[in-house]
Amino acid sequence: MPFKMIGLRFKDIQFNPLHQNKDKESFWKSADGEEVLSLTLLSTNKHILAGTSFGRLRLYNTKKCKLKKDIKMPKEIVLHSINSIVELKEQGQIWLGSDRMIVRITNKFKFIDIFEAHQGIVTSILTIGDQVWTASSDSNIIVWNTGVRQIFNSHRTRHK
């Protein structure tokens, strides 16, 4: 029997499994119409960061299930979307994946830097030790050395 969900409400974020995008995947949508493209639970286990299709980063309180704050980027940084998020607890950083770019902020949500990481949308980010792995719609997986923000290794996936 397939899993069936009738819908969830997370204050100003709503999940509607009956509303599907062109790829037939369910997605989150905020009350103002933004799609929530990425979620990550912060190491405190008290907050979730959500990245949106409008390039906004939002902090939610997990206990109260409500928006705590919109996290502002510097005015010169324009993100079209935030597709992936990962926290590097030991380094005190959060990496955000966007259109070709990685944005690094502190775990206190202060801007560190932005750099071009891929030729396509950064679709996924994960950490393994002191490395960050990023994947992109450009068919590349890049392994970054977090200490010096340099490419440790790169691999191009093959499509049949």
- Structural domain contains residue 126: yes
The predicted pLDDT at position 144 comes to: 87
The predicted pLDDT at position 31 comes to: 57
- Structural domain contains residue 4: no
The predicted pLDDT at position 4 comes to: 41
pLDDT in tens, the chain (160 residues): 444 443 344 444 444 444 444 444 444 455 567 788 999 999 988 999 999 988 999 999 888 878 899 998 888 888 889 999 999 998 999 999 999 899 999 999 999 999 988 899 999 999 988 889 899 998 888 888 876 555 555 555 554 4
- Structural domain contains residue 90: yes
β strands within the chain, DSSP E? 8-10, 13-20, 26-30, 35-41, 47-52, 57-61, 66-71, 84-88, 93-97, 99-106, 111-128, 131-136, 140-145, 150-156
- Structural domain contains residue 98: yes
Q: What is the pLDDT of residues 43-67, one digit of tens each?
A: 988 999 999 988 999 999 888 878 8
d(CA 17, CA 6): 7
d(CA 121, CA 45): 28
d(CA 22, CA 61): 31
Tokens 């639970």 appear where? Answer: 41
- Structural domain contains residue 21: no
- Structural domain contains residue 146: yes
The total number of structural domains that make up the chain = 1
What residue numbers bound the domain in which 114 lies? 9-15+29-156
Q: For residue 74, what is the domain's CATH number?
A: 2.130.10.10
The predicted pLDDT at position 16 comes to: 46
- Structural domain contains residue 38: yes
- Structural domain contains residue 2: no
